[in-house]
Amino acid sequence: MSAPVPTTESASPSTAPADGGAAPWWRPTGTRVLQVAAALVALQLLVRGVVAARGYYYWDDLILTGRAGAMSLLSPEFLLYDHDGHFMPAAFLVAGIANTLAPYQWALPALILVILQALASLAVLRLLVVLLGRRPTLLIPFALYLFSPLTLPAFAWWAAGLNALPMQIGLAAVAADAVLLCRTGRARYAWSSLAVFVASLLFFEKAVLVPLVAFAVVALMYRVDGHRKPLRAALARGRRLWAWSAVVIAGWAVVYALVVTPSPGERTPEMTVELVRHSNYRGLFPTLLGGPWRWDRWPPSPPWAVPPEALVVVAALAVLACVAGTLAWKRRVGWVWIATAAYVLASETAMVIARSSPDTTYELGQTLRYLTDSAVVVAIALALVLRAPTRDRWSGRRSGPRSVLVVSVLVVAFVASSLWSTATFVARWEDNPTVDYLARAKASLVANADAPMLDQPVSIWVLLPVAYPYNMASSVFAALPDRPEFASSTPVLRKMDDSGDIVDAEVTWVRAIGEGPVPGCGYHVTDAPTALPLSGPLAGWEWAVQLNYLASRDGEIEVGLAEGEPVTVPVRAGLNTVYVNLDGGGPDVRVRTLDPELSLCVGVGPVGAVVPKP
């Protein structure tokens, strides 16, 4: 027969008296603790609300909204998309609904981020109450989670927040339910935790770790409580949850394998070591003291932490001192820190495997978004340490006003440091060229909706070519209701410049269609394919062709390069010009009419790139 499991109160006696009893200020009641916690949540949401309001769409956000504007929101093509190795159908759906309701209106994504943050904060508070009871000490890990800049970059970036915040909710909510399931044996905690797990897994594939973390929390809780066989007890008491979680993971793994094509990065031992070192010493550790205080950015990249060297050293020493001090102060907490380090290392390993390449900079680890869920794990670790029994040589000491005051000052200093880091982050995050670009582009598109536009990449300061085809204007602006059609041909050549303004454009003379053999006509085109020789061969690429033509009637023609797929182009009767986008290469342009009664004369014209008119 297994030994009885100590309760939270027996494992670590509460310093708070029963509600309603008289208590000195340094021993607040459980009700007062929850009131302070609620005030901290309100402050956090106020700060994060300002962060969200000062942000805007960035990079992957435009990919999510662009795909939502071009596809059915419930189609497998939309939901089951391999987004750079991510499998996140629920995130796609939320982004799609938001963009459908209010295309490119940032207020709605900002509100969604704040709501998700509120749910995550409340889930963490509930977990801490489950582990520690309503005692003042829970405010220490809770403040760390609420204000640590570790969660800030992922929160501010909508696409990242749709991954990170449901993951944080899942970690906290499932761990709390797992503890309650093992404590009470009530099946409802198994089903509620399973539902939250499935939801978080649909937002972010990393949530596959959620039940593993929940199991670790239960086992470590039993360990610090002095249970003789913590692993066996955790397995036995939560078997319903673990079994169904395994079923969910197995089914999810099959779908993930069918949808996602892994693309492991190229890495060297030196790169791996440096990425891990930068992630910890310049990323994670300073945030545990409220750092990094400073951020840098090369638009269009996201900001990354640039802590002062003094803070890097102090933070590393503080982490070592915290671990060593708690090992000396509390019993049976060694495995808590080992498990925490293992989780952080697993997150960093995933980052190295998926994101390293010869072009990867070490600052990748300092962007913090790959470690953001570690804030929940660190808060859990601190809660388990605080729950653990005190060693004999410390057991006779009780906290008085002086020790409570010292802890309060440290917490306030941490919050102040974190708020400063938040302010400096916002200053860098606001340096987002997408804000002005989209504002000007939307206005320009409305003003130039009278003719189709040739598709083109958006500014490289908004989306780099590596995002193709989602860096194309037809994708980025797919959801806008009042805009010109993006087509493969147009009778009016216009181009969107790097500021987002639409200007008149022309085709450069990289190659040319010369004078044709038919006097007064040039090249006579009928429904038989006609080759229009160029002044030189074209390499395979995307080219613009200016066709100056005289058509016998309205109709359609087919235009293509010698090497490439042709496109269908409408033409109008009379003397006109049409501009055509073509993929391919070769020595000539090939044209034929799609109506036997239609014929064209084609004259001299350029083939090249579309550029603004001088």
- The CATH number linked to 520 is 2.60.120.260
**Of the residues 429, 447, 464, which one is the last residue of a structural domain?**
429
**Given this model, what pLDDT does residue 577 score?**
97
Q: DSSP code of 390?
A: B
- With respect to residue 552, please indicate whether it lies within any of the assigned structural domains: yes
Find the radius of gyration of the CA atoms of the chain: 31
C-alpha span between 489 and 560 (Å, rounded): 12
Please check whether residue 339 is in contact with residue 398, taking contact to mean a CB–CB distance below 8 angstroms.
no
**Given this model, what pLDDT does residue 6 score?**
42
DSSP result, 43-107:
HHHHHHHHHHHT----THHHHHHHHHHHS-TTSHHHHT--BTTB--HHHHHHHHHHHHHSTT-TH
- With respect to residue 327, please indicate whether it lies within any of the assigned structural domains: yes
Please check whether residue 204 is in contact with residue 86, taking contact to mean a CB–CB distance below 8 angstroms.
yes
- With respect to residue 271, please indicate whether it lies within any of the assigned structural domains: yes
- With respect to residue 72, please indicate whether it lies within any of the assigned structural domains: no
- With respect to residue 122, please indicate whether it lies within any of the assigned structural domains: yes
C-alpha span between 293 and 421 (Å, rounded): 4
Mapping DSSP onto H, E and C, the string for 90-155 reads HHHHHHHHHHHHCCCCCHHHHHHHHHHHHHHHHHHHHHHHHHHCCCHHHHHHHHHHHHCHHHHHHH
C-alpha span between 557 and 597 (Å, rounded): 12
284-309 burial: b if 16+ Cβ within 10 Å, else e: bbbbbbbbbbbbebeebebbbbbbee
Question: What residues in the chain have per-residue pLDDT under 70?
Answer: 1-26, 264-265, 394-400, 403
Q: Kindly report, residue by residue over 292-309, the tens digit of the pLDDT.
A: 999 998 878 899 999 999
- 299/190 same-domain check: yes
- 293/193 same-domain check: yes
Please check whether residue 88 is in contact with residue 204, taking contact to mean a CB–CB distance below 8 angstroms.
yes
Please check whether residue 11 is in contact with residue 5, taking contact to mean a CB–CB distance below 8 angstroms.
no
Instruction: Report the length, in residues, of the chain.
Output: 614
How far apart, in Å, are the Cα atoms of 92 and each of 97, 227, 358?
9, 44, 30
- 531/393 same-domain check: no
The residue among 557, 552, 581, 554 whose CA lies nearest residue 569 is: 557
Supply the range of the domain harboring residue 608: 511-612
* Tally of domains within the chain: 2
Cα 495 vs. chain centroid, distance in angstroms? 31
- 253/370 same-domain check: yes
C-alpha span between 278 and 291 (Å, rounded): 14
- 294/386 same-domain check: yes
C-alpha span between 351 and 441 (Å, rounded): 35
- 147/285 same-domain check: yes
C-alpha span between 281 and 29 (Å, rounded): 38
**Of the residues 429, 449, 470, which one is the last residue of a structural domain?**
429
- With respect to residue 93, please indicate whether it lies within any of the assigned structural domains: no
- With respect to residue 419, please indicate whether it lies within any of the assigned structural domains: yes
**Given this model, what pLDDT does residue 271 score?**
83
- 524/379 same-domain check: no
The residue among 248, 166, 180, 261 whose CA lies nearest residue 212 is: 248
Instruction: Indicate the pTM of the whole model.
Output: 0.90
Q: DSSP code of 395?
A: H
**Given this model, what pLDDT does residue 400 score?**
60
- 158/263 same-domain check: yes
**Sign of torsion over alpha carbons 325, 329, 335, 337:** negative
Query: Two tokens at 487?
Result: 């087509």
- 421/570 same-domain check: no
- 160/277 same-domain check: yes
DSSP result, 178-223:
HHHHHHH--HHHHHHHHHHHHHHHHH-GGGGGHHHHHHHHHHHHHH
The residue among 125, 45, 150, 42 whose CA lies nearest residue 380 is: 125
CB-based contacts of 475: which residues, under 8 Å, 6+ apart? Answer: 63, 66, 67, 69, 70, 469
- 530/424 same-domain check: no
- 425/517 same-domain check: no
**Of the residues 412, 429, 446, which one is the last residue of a structural domain?**
429
- With respect to residue 142, please indicate whether it lies within any of the assigned structural domains: yes
